[in-house]
Amino acid sequence: MHQRPTPLEASGDLVSNLMEPRVTKVPEVILLFWIIKIAATTLGETGGDAVSMSMDLGYLIATAIFAVIFIAAVGVQIAAKNFHPYIYWTTIIATTTVGTTLADFATRSLGIGYAGGSFLLLVLLILSLAVWYRTMGTVSVESISSPKVELFYWSTIMFSQTLGTALGDWTADTAGFGYTGAAALFGTLLALVGAAYFWTTISRTALFWAAFVLTRPLGAVAGDFLDKPVASGGLELSRYSASGVLVLFILACLILFKHRAASESH
């Protein structure tokens, strides 16, 4: 006969459950995460340009198409009960593509320029993080375990991806760094963030978001370097081919390596 646990045993089980790490719906932040993130942001640039420019649909229609994909992907991600790497990275790619075309629409079609677009998107990003922090008390990615927090997370990511596109274009074009110079600049900044992670006591959450934002302009200028004309400093590769290779690389990373969800200790 099955015996009911005593109050002491029941309290022990409760303490054990409370002490057990809670699995979230985002991947653990390791080197593999950043490799795929940079590849995904580069894909966002080449893929976004392929639809808006190569297909000649324009920034507004391309943004509408990618916005629908983004909303659908976020819906599937939030509806999922557990962490699924394919769903997660599909959603990340959706944010990078809509971020590319949305930033291009804002800076070029609306005529506010790269500097104006970067400033506007920076304000939106800061506001998103501020509202998230004020509501939940933390903006740590290790707390992504409820639909409400996921909405904050994906809204913030979308703003950061859009900001990164505008910032990358501003650095490469307006500031005159060129694609390789801008890539070296953002790569150096990422290296400094990495050094701060290992050798300082700066907030790990702050460093994560700094690195997350910086990978987007790095991917933007890398994507531009691949598909822009040689006369402009690019390699003038096919946007479709470059996007296809990046998709295969990301799939290889997902298939060949084990992916685990981040966990939060109570």
What are the pLDDT digits (tens) for 192-250? 999 999 999 999 999 999 999 999 999 999 999 998 888 888 898 999 999 999 999 99
Domain that holds residue 199: 24-264
Q: Is residue 17 part of a domain?
A: no
Q: Is residue 8 part of a domain?
A: no
- Which residues make Cβ contacts (< 8 Å) with residue 15, sequence separation at least 6? none
List the Cα angle 34/35/40 in 5-degree steps: 90
Give the Cα separation of 147 and 152 in Å (integer): 9
Q: Averaged over 134-156, what is the pLDDT?
A: 90
Q: Is residue 5 part of a domain?
A: no
Q: Is residue 193 part of a domain?
A: yes
Q: Is residue 137 part of a domain?
A: yes
Q: Is residue 18 part of a domain?
A: no
Q: What is the pLDDT of residues 97-126, one digit of tens each?
A: 999 998 888 888 777 877 888 888 889 999
pTM: 0.87
pLDDT at 119: 87
- Which residues make Cβ contacts (< 8 Å) with residue 77, sequence separation at least 6? 25, 87, 88, 91, 150, 154
Percent of the chain scored above 90 by pLDDT? 64
Q: What is the pLDDT of residues 155-176, one digit of tens each?
A: 999 999 988 888 898 898 888 8
pLDDT at 38: 95
> What are the C-alpha distances in Å from 108 to residues 103, 111, 125, 162, 182?
8, 5, 20, 13, 20
Q: DSSP secondary structure string, 162-206?
A: HHHHHHHHIIIIIS--HHHHHHHHHHHHHHHHHHHHHHS---HHH
Q: Is residue 13 part of a domain?
A: no
Q: What is the pLDDT of residues 55-97, one digit of tens each?
A: 999 999 999 999 999 999 999 999 998 899 999 999 999 999 9
Query: Per-residue pLDDT for 41 more than 80?
Result: yes
Give the Cα separation of 203 and 214 in Å (integer): 17
**Least-confidence region, from 14-23, 107-116, 251-260:** 14-23
Q: Is residue 2 part of a domain?
A: no
Query: Per-residue pLDDT for 21 more than 70?
Result: no
Q: Averaged over 1-26, what is the pLDDT?
A: 50
Q: Tally the domains of the chain.
A: 1
